[in-house]
Amino acid sequence: MESIYQALVEIVGEDYASNRHEELFTYSKDLGTSPPQWPEYVAAPKTVEEVQKIVYLANKEKVAIVPLGGGLTLAGLALPLKGGIIIDMKRLDKIIEVNEAARYMVVEAGASHGKVTAYLHKHHPTLMHSEPGAPAAATIGGNMAIHGQGDLAHPYGFNTDMINGLEVILPTGEIARFGSCAVGSGWYTMHPLPDLGLFLGWNGSTGIITKISFRLYPYKKIRDNDAFTVSDENLVPEILHELTHLGLTEDLIATSSEIPPVMNRLHHISIMIAGDYEEEMEFKRHMIFDLTLGKYIRSGVGGIGGIAAERLRPQISKSADWKKGGGFEYVGSIVPVAAYPECYRRGSEISARHDIPYTVLGRVIGCCHAMMFSWSYAFNRADAETVRHAREALHETDVMVMELNGTIWKPAVFGQKLMMDRMDQTTLQLMKKVKDLLDPNGIMNPGNWEVQ
């Protein structure tokens, strides 16, 4: 298919198109346990027009296209399940606008979270966006395409709850805009237009997001990571409930892990607080630790695990190397906060069965409206047996999430199927209709959210 390659070269230039084995190899793998899936071409467009031309080309040639951001979901969501063209979105990375007064920012979808954080830090130091704990190379578009959450999830919800406007290339190549930008009124709100929510959470299978406007929030100068520790997992939901009632914190995350031993069978609640003044910080600490959590301390069931640890932004994750083997993958779920104890207990059992030290984490979303609970399974990339164990553990966890009445977040294809098996028929059929309507040639990241 030399002609498709040639056409890609014409669109993006020779340097940014490849059908060479080495590039195809690289894009055939993601970082998790998924087996490789080979693309036939890779292209890295620089402009919206170039992306659009690729989409037209794909429709003409009936080849699949898969948008790829940082490629960091771990769940194989940007692997070309049916071959075709990988569109590496990372050159589409312009910062288009920051509106300080209305607290929003418009970027091209391939801009990385690291870049956005650094840009705001430098040019708008009183503003921040909700940054996920993913490596800084994760893109804004990729994160929105899977309903990500960041370090403002407790006060403000999912990152996709913060969207003020979207520009999308439809699977057939037309460009559509949503929100106030659609009526030419700037990028400051998604409402009050009729709801079309067709692109978020779809893993790029209904279109390619090219521009996003998202909300920014106050960035306060003094930023601490405090911690509260309990041994009884049953206390975690009520503590989180009390803290969200108080409403003085940013991110709230509960973690527990077998390794290092200091974390084993303990639950460590990270309480992120921020203030512009020392007095503000002390006030918050007093409210949190003395008044709200004091009773747990005095009765001896909870303790201050630390005060004023540094909060890095971008956050740096070293979790991949826990097993000294360069790999881990996690199942994420969206569950009620009340499910924390059960999630932890059953997760650590699955880990034990596969001889993987357990690692769990729950991040509060909204005012305890839900929690992103994750179970991580480390493996050694050089040891197929450990990869197999991790994959099996992931599948068992997917099943367990369903048993717990949870929903799987950014499910791999295996989990997507479990969810669709349980989905009510009307919704499922509507999904199919939407997909068929938008993508008549079935070329957009096929295999994802595919209703049979």
Partner 1 sequence: MMGLEEYKYKDLIHRCFRCGYCKFPTDWSDVTNCPAYARFRMESYSNGGRLWLIYAWLTGEIQWSENLSKILYSCTSCKNCVEKCPLSFNDDIVNMVVAAKSQMVETGKVPPLVRKFLQNVQVQGNPYGIDANKRADWMNGLELQPYQGQDYLYYVGCEGAYDTRAQGAARATARVLQDAGVSFGVLGVDECCDGNEVDMLGEEALLEDLATKNIDQFSKRGVKNIVTLSPHAYNVFKNKYPAFGGHFNVLHYTQVFADLIKTGKLKGPEQQGVRITFHDPCFLGRWNGEYNAPRKVIGAVKGANFTEMERNKKGALCCGGGAGNFFTDFLGGSGESPARIRAREAGDVKADILAVACPNCLTMLDDAVKAEGLDNRIKVMDISELLCPA
Partner 2 sequence: MYKLTFNEDLCLACGTQDCLVRCQHMDIDQKTARIEMEKIINGEDSFVLHDCATCYACEEYCPHGNHPFYLIVQRQDELGMPPLPEPLIKRGIQTGIPFRGEPEIDEIKGTALNMCVFSNLMDRVQGRLFEGLPIISHDSRKMFHYFCQLMYLHYGKTSVINERLDKIIQTLAAHKAKEIIHFHDECYGTYTSYAPAFGIEVPFKSIHLFEYLYNRLLELKNEIKPLNYKVAYQRPCSSRLSPPMHQYVAKIFDLIGVENVKREYVDENAMCCGGTILGQKKEGSRQYCAEVQKKNIDDMKNAGAEICVFNCPACITTLGKPVQKEGIWPLFMSDLCRLAIGEKIG
Ligand X SMILES: Cc1cc2nc3c(=O)[nH]c(=O)nc-3n(C[C@H](O)[C@H](O)[C@H](O)COP(=O)(O)OP(=O)(O)OC[C@H]3O[C@@H](n4cnc5c(N)ncnc54)[C@H](O)[C@@H]3O)c2cc1C
User: Which residues contact ligand X by CB under 6 A?
Assistant: 66-74, 77-78, 89, 109, 132-135, 138-139, 141-143, 145-146, 148-150, 203-204, 208-209, 317, 319, 445
141 binds, among partner 2, ligand X, partner 1, none (CB under 5 to 8 A by kind): ligand X
Q: What CA–CA distance (Å, rounded) separates 40 from 82?
A: 10
Of 255, 340, 332, 266, nearest in space to 303 by CA? 266
Query: Which residue shows structure tokens 């090219």?
Result: 210
404: β partners: none
Q: Which residues contact 123 (CB under 8 A, 6 or more apart)?
A: 98
With CB cut-offs between 5 and 8 Å by kind, which of partner 2, partner 1, ligand X, none does residue 300 bind?
partner 2
Work out what residue 148 binds among partner 1, ligand X, partner 2, none; the CB cut-off runs from 5 to 8 Å by kind.
ligand X
User: Across-strand partners of 68?
Assistant: 88
For partner 1, the closer of residues 218 and 326 by Cβ is: 326
CA distance linking residue 252 with residue 244, whole number of Å: 9
Instruction: Pick one of 238, 290, 355, 421: the residue that binds partner 2 (CB under 8 A).
Output: 290
283: left (phi over 0), alpha (psi -120 to 50) or beta: alpha
Q: Is 373 in the site for partner 2 (CB under 8 A)?
A: no
Instruction: Give whichever of 101 and 316 is closer to ligand X, judged by the CB atom.
Output: 316
Span 409-428, contacts to partner 2 by CB under 8 A: none
Distance CA 285, CA 277 (A): 13
* Binders in 63-92 for partner 1, by CB under 8 A: 70-72, 88, 90-91
Total H helices, total E strands in the chain: 13, 19
395 binds partner 1 (CB under 8 A): no
Query: Least distance (Å) from partner 2 to the CB of residue 323?
Result: 12
Report if residue 282 touches partner 2, rule: CB under 8 A: yes
Is residue 125 near partner 2 by the rule CB under 8 A? no
Q: Quick check: 221 binds partner 2 (CB under 8 A)?
A: no
378 strand-pairing partners: 328
The single residue listed with the structure tokens 């521009």 is 211
Could you say whether residue 319 binds partner 2 (CB under 8 A)?
Answer: no
Q: Does 348 bind partner 1 (CB under 8 A)?
A: no
- 316, interface contact from partner 1, partner 2, ligand X, none, CB < 5-8 Å by kind: partner 1
* Residue 422 burial (CB count, 10 A): 11
Return all residues near 312 (Cβ < 8 A) that are at least 6 apart: none
| Residue 87 φ/ψ, nearest 5 degrees | -105, 105
With CB cut-offs between 5 and 8 Å by kind, which of partner 2, partner 1, ligand X, none does residue 117 bind? partner 1
CA distance 152 to 129: 8
**Which residues would be at the binding site for partner 1 (CB under 8 A)?**
15-16, 18, 20-23, 25-27, 29, 31, 42, 44, 70-72, 88, 90-91, 93, 112, 114-115, 117-119, 122, 135-137, 314, 316-318, 320-321, 324-327, 380-382
